Structure 1
Amino acid sequence: MSNRIAYDNTAQNKYMKGMIISPTAFKIGSNILKAILMEIICTPKPGLVDRANAGAHKDMDISTFMQSTAAIAHFMSVAAQVAMDHRGDLNALLPKIRAIGLSAEEEMFLATDNVNTQKGLIFSGMLIAAAAGYLTARETGDLKLLRIIQTIQKITEGIVERELMQLDKNEQKITAGEWLFLDSGVTGIRGEAEKGFPNAEAAYQVIVKANASGIPFERGLIMALLFLMTRVDDTNILARHGAETLTYVRNQANKLVLSENAYSDEWLDKVRELDKDFIEQNISPGGCADLLAVALMFYYLTIPDKRMH
């Protein structure tokens, strides 16, 4: 009997209808899901939804994120399987991933009553799942981070030029991120993806180093998030507040990253104070949160036997 399971597609996506999902694709999707969940429950996260509070948000909390994640989780395995079965140029994978992502977005909005919790993360997660699936079907041995990054770069090659440089300010359906590109040249998640998620890769290294030093795993994630805040052009912050607030966030995060008592209980109290500060100022570094999740995807896909984290 086959150990592959038929996928019942409710969205009637042409790339998903009648698809058979392999155990390998399920495993990839499971690692992506674990990364998303670990980012959500990481606490404290200044200005962001976590176990302690809803951050600088009025329309979502941790329950909203859990429902959203449950709604989109299986699409990650679908993206992995599509890439495993793909024939042709890697760049031709992107339209397939995008189509699956639109179905995932529909399910997300249904689950959250039209609250956008994870739209950007759907795109990132799909790319990483697809890259992992593509490589697993063609290469032997454990997944290597460099190969995942190179594959993502090939899948997304030219995306900024095609999708951002052709934008027209007079178009009616322009997202906040696209407006930021037109206004200040910030390429957002597309630019990050086309480069192979370099900021997420750097955050991954922070997590690995902290873990190797015996730092409690969650505190390593908090440090990785703060590290991202010091360097990412976070489109959530820029769209809500502008460049001055982004500079403020970077400066505050940098103090904690460079703190002499980093990872200590006292340090954690200062992170909680920053959380209160961001909530009062309505600052939500959502782009950094997404990249922390991406860093965790890299971690769980490339470092075997991390079941306890």
Structure 2
Amino acid sequence: MDVERILGENGVSLAQMLAARERRAARQRDMLRGGGKSLISYTLNMPGEIKQFPLAQAFFRHGLARLERHLARNGISIVTKACRVEPTGSEAMLLTDGAPADVKRLTVALEISSPASRLYDMDVLASDGVKISRDALGLPPRRCVICGRAAMDCAPRRIHPARELACAAVKLMYDDAVGRFADTVASAAQRALLYEVCVSPKPGLVDRFNSGSHRDMDLFTFMDSAGTLAPYFHLCAALGAEAAEQEPERLFQSLRLPGMEAETVMLEATGGVNVHKGAIFSVGVICAARGWLWGRGENAAAERLAGVARKMLTGLKDEFSPQGQSAGEKIFRESGVTGIRGEAAAGFPAVIECGLPVFERLLAENLPLNDAAAVTLLHLIGAADDTNMIRRSSLFRFREVQREIGRLLDEKTVPDMAGIARLDRQFIAENLSPGGSADLLALTLLLHFMRDFESEKAPWRSES
């Protein structure tokens, strides 16, 4: 985090701040004539001479949205609202029909709801202009953003330098922004895993109808696994955001240990069953790439995400050990098939060029999401080398299966679910399971869900 870059250089003088305070008091008096029972005057406690910068504006707007929702939840209506953006800081005034003491309790609940919300300054005035104090209602005092002691103990004695306070405030806003965005990414990733397992029927895979070719897992095993992974996906996105000034190649190295720890948590949750090892790798990479682009203020269309992933994984295929004993390494030595490593290192072409376009085309044709995803899985089996399928049979048999699916897709542009169910029974009889393709389907779903926030950028990268 570069505090100087975030803050900028647009400081204001003490005289400007005093004049702004007088204008705000005049506006408060004018608005109180509008007939409401109480007035909320909302600003930010931003120490130092720099009061206005993009991150502060975004944090202020988020706080205002929280305030309006909190009032509505508690049945309090806003009679009049006025907002201003000035060099001395953003401010909002909300005239409400709520009793002053009740409104003050609600605003204090917001001010103490998180570390960053200590920066909210939500004064409440009664209709006669008298400010409602925390102390009068027995509410906790404001806390210092650095030491956590009562602010009234620190501020008068100037225990903390203004610059230190300003840096602490920026850090709180920064962490809040990164955390909220990482939550958005993690939610989309977890949703993708849950949707993937629920898509039915899926040949040879666990779904809502059966456990496919698996005897050690079922739908609930997948739920147990997916339920543990949101913190990991959150961390991937946050690491990406924090590494935005670095080259993508370095970012992947920071994911290795969290990935191994996520695998351990997953195995503990599933009783030792490997449910999402492949997704921990591939989905984690995409979450980190999304955070990296967000932190740089760049658009995150699917193709751009894939390009960042490709850069992150430069040299990944070279990591195959000549003596490696994993299933993927053995298959690589025997056939040269690189599986998910090669797919990921190439920027997930099966997903970008096949899975995502097919899935979104089928949705545009009004196919139900479940059916669109089930058909997309067939396309993905045909588009990428699935080492799980090869391990359970042979490369020769896998190529036969790809040809069979190709013929099915040629015969029917959109195979019906009954046809896919027949293929499921065939896969189960042969003990086939396209687990690698299932991971690519989860990625397809994730990239589709990420469309909803592909233009979202770090607020310090936004125009003021």
Distance 1:143 1:241, change over 3 A: same
2:360 alignment counterpart: 208
Distance 1:211 1:303, change over 3 A: farther
2:397 alignment counterpart: 245
Which amino acid counterpart does residue 302 of structure 2 have in structure 1?
L
How many Å apart are 1:3 and its aligned residue? 6.1
Q: Deviations over 1:221-244 (max 9, x none)?
A: 111100011222110011111012
Given that residues 226 and 256 in structure 1 are in contact (C-alpha distance below 8 angstroms), is that contact kept between their aligned partners in structure 2? no
The counterpart of 2:384, out of the listed 232, 236, 242, is 232
Q: Within the alignment, does 1:199 sit opposite 2:378 as a pair?
A: no
Q: Deviations over 1:63-121 (max 9, x none)?
A: 11110111122200110001111142211111111111001000011011111111011
Distance in 2 (CA, whole Å) between partners of 1:91 and 1:261 is: 40
3-state SS of paired residue (1:22): helix
Which amino acid counterpart does residue 213 of structure 1 have in structure 2?
E
Which amino acid counterpart does residue 439 of structure 2 have in structure 1?
D
Q: Deviations over 1:22-71 (max 9, x none)?
A: 10011011111111111110000010000000000011111111101111
1:102 alignment counterpart: 260
Distance 1:261 1:189, change over 3 A: closer
Q: Which has the higher contact order (CA 8 A, sep 6+)?
A: 1
Q: Within the alignment, does 1:300 sit opposite 2:452 as a pair?
A: no
3-state SS of paired residue (2:281): helix
Distance in 2 (CA, whole Å) between partners of 1:122 and 1:281 is: 27
Distance in 1 (CA, whole Å) between partners of 2:306 and 2:412 is: 33
How many Å apart are 1:268 and its aligned residue? 1.2
1:93 alignment counterpart: 251
Q: Within the alignment, does 1:119 sit opposite 2:277 as a pair?
A: yes
How many Å apart are 1:247 and its aligned residue? 2.0
Deviates more, 1:195-204 or 1:20-29: 20-29
Given that residues 47 and 283 in structure 1 are in contact (C-alpha distance below 8 angstroms), is that contact kept between their aligned partners in structure 2? yes
How many Å apart are 1:256 and its aligned residue? 2.8
Distance in 2 (CA, whole Å) between partners of 1:288 and 1:41 is: 15
1:61 alignment counterpart: 218
2:334 alignment counterpart: 183
Which amino acid counterpart does residue 322 of structure 2 have in structure 1?
D
How many Å apart are 1:143 and its aligned residue? 2.5
Alignment TM-score, normalising by the size of structure 1 = 0.86
Q: Within the alignment, does 1:33 sit opposite 2:184 as a pair?
A: no
Distance in 1 (CA, whole Å) between partners of 2:446 and 2:402 is: 24
The counterpart of 1:2, out of the listed 116, 124, 127, is 116
Distance in 2 (CA, whole Å) between partners of 1:160 and 1:235 is: 14
Given that residues 343 and 384 in structure 2 are in contact (C-alpha distance below 8 angstroms), is that contact kept between their aligned partners in structure 1? no
2:241 alignment counterpart: 84
Distance 1:3 1:302, change over 3 A: farther
1:52 alignment counterpart: 209
Given that residues 256 and 262 in structure 1 are in contact (C-alpha distance below 8 angstroms), is that contact kept between their aligned partners in structure 2? no
How many Å apart are 1:157 and its aligned residue? 1.0
Which amino acid counterpart does residue 190 of structure 1 have in structure 2?
R
How many Å apart are 1:151 and its aligned residue? 0.7
Larger Rg: 1 or 2?
2
Distance in 2 (CA, whole Å) between partners of 1:293 and 1:82 is: 21
Q: Deviations over 1:151-183 (max 9, x none)?
A: 11111111112x12xx122x5xx2101111111
Given that residues 55 and 279 in structure 1 are in contact (C-alpha distance below 8 angstroms), is that contact kept between their aligned partners in structure 2? yes
The counterpart of 1:148, out of the listed 288, 305, 316, is 305
Distance in 1 (CA, whole Å) between partners of 2:453 and 2:363 is: 14
Which amino acid counterpart does residue 193 of structure 2 have in structure 1?
I
Distance in 2 (CA, whole Å) between partners of 1:260 and 1:58 is: 32
Distance in 2 (CA, whole Å) between partners of 1:290 and 1:119 is: 9
Q: Within the alignment, does 1:276 sit opposite 2:425 as a pair?
A: yes
How many Å apart are 1:149 and its aligned residue? 1.1
1:13 alignment counterpart: none
Which amino acid counterpart does residue 339 of structure 2 have in structure 1?
G
Given that residues 203 and 227 in structure 1 are in contact (C-alpha distance below 8 angstroms), is that contact kept between their aligned partners in structure 2? yes
How many Å apart are 1:302 and its aligned residue? 2.0
How many Å apart are 1:261 and its aligned residue? 6.5
Number of aligned positions between the proteins: 281
Q: Deviations over 1:243-291 (max 9, x none)?
A: 122023212322332233625xxx2111111111111110101111111
Which amino acid counterpart does residue 250 of structure 1 have in structure 2?
Q
User: Unaligned stretches of 5+ in structure 1?
Assistant: 5-18
Distance 1:3 1:244, change over 3 A: farther
1:12 alignment counterpart: none
Distance in 2 (CA, whole Å) between partners of 1:262 and 1:85 is: 43
